[in-house]
Structure 1
Amino acid sequence: MNKFLSIFIAAVCFISALSCSSAKLQSQHIQRQWMLISFGDFTKEQLIKSKAEINLTAPPEDGKIKGTAMMGCNRMFFTLEFKSKNKVEISGLGSTLMACQEMEIEDQFTKVFEKMTRYQIDGHFLTLYDDKGAEMKFIAADWD
């Protein structure tokens, strides 16, 4: 009986430890290339024309994904950590430093992206939210 109780307690501790760590990534849902289709006051056509996207296809390391973004001019890089209860932490945002004619989307994206704290996946859509109600909506690039 003591052996059974020990195994049971170890299993409960293991499951508890997993629930406190980063959310287990469901690669077919998150690890994709995502096209930005709704952001701020920009039209969908402006976002499509600038080929605004984030790429989350890199294999996760310690529960974190090193991603890249392109908003028309500079290549950006960042680290994303998806946590439990639809929380996300975005850090380490940086970019190349080319000066281009149309950088409005890129400039706004840079100001807002790291402030996103929650995410939702609904079918082929990924939406990021901040604590003030701002959102960014993406569609999976491989969706037809």
Structure 2
Amino acid sequence: MKKMLTMCLVMAGVAYFTACSNTSRSSGTNNEADLYKTWRLVEVNGETIDTTGIPKPLEFTFEQADSQFSGSAGCNRIFGKFTLTAPDNISFPGLAATRMACPDMSVEQKFLEASNKVNKWAIRQGMLVLSQNENALLRFKAK
């Protein structure tokens, strides 16, 4: 009987610690290595992006070397450097874009305006979320 009780307590302890360790991994701790890929925009300011009529996919590609990014805002190419500080802070000092004109620049304008406000990043459920403090501005899926 004592052996059975001891086994139950050991199993309960193992289950408890396993559950705790899984919770801490899924609690949103960012893994910087997950950032370094191409991310395609799916949402700006809570609105799903309608890509009809947009010449190129809206996306960011993050390169670990020299902390550079590049991509497309739909019509224009975007590029520059990004800065990561703390586990979840990000900024895009000097975000630059080419200056071509396209028939509808409204989505591109929203994308660029939101990008200039970003100060936080997180990867949640496989999506890259760029935010201003706790307000999600841009959501991307991995390409």
Identity %: 22
The correspondence for 2:32, drawn from 26, 36, 39, is: 26
1:96 is matched with which residue? 98
Structure 2 residue runs of 5 or longer lacking an equivalent are: 1-29
Separation (CA, whole Å) in 2 of partners of 1:47 and 1:30: 23
- Residues 21-75 of structure 1, C-alpha deviation per residue, up to 9 Å, x if partnerless? xxx9733x1100001111126434x14763111111x3322xxx21112122110
TM-score normalised by the chain length of structure 1: 0.67
Q: Is the 8 A contact 1:42 1:105 kept in 2?
A: no
The correspondence for 2:40, drawn from 11, 35, 55, is: 35
Structure 1 residue runs of 5 or longer lacking an equivalent are: 1-23
Deviation at 1:125, TM superposition (A): 1.0
1:52 is matched with which residue? 58
Q: Where in structure 1 do 4 or more consecutive aligned residues deviate above 3 Å?
A: 47-50
- CA RMSD, aligned part only? 2.3
AA at the equivalent of 2:108: E
Instruction: Give the paired residue count.
Output: 112
1:10 is matched with which residue? none
* SS of aligned partner of 1:113: helix
Deviation at 1:139, TM superposition (A): 0.8
Residue pairs, 1:46-125, within 5 angstroms: 46-47=50-51, 50=54, 51-56=57-62, 58-61=63-66, 65-125=67-127
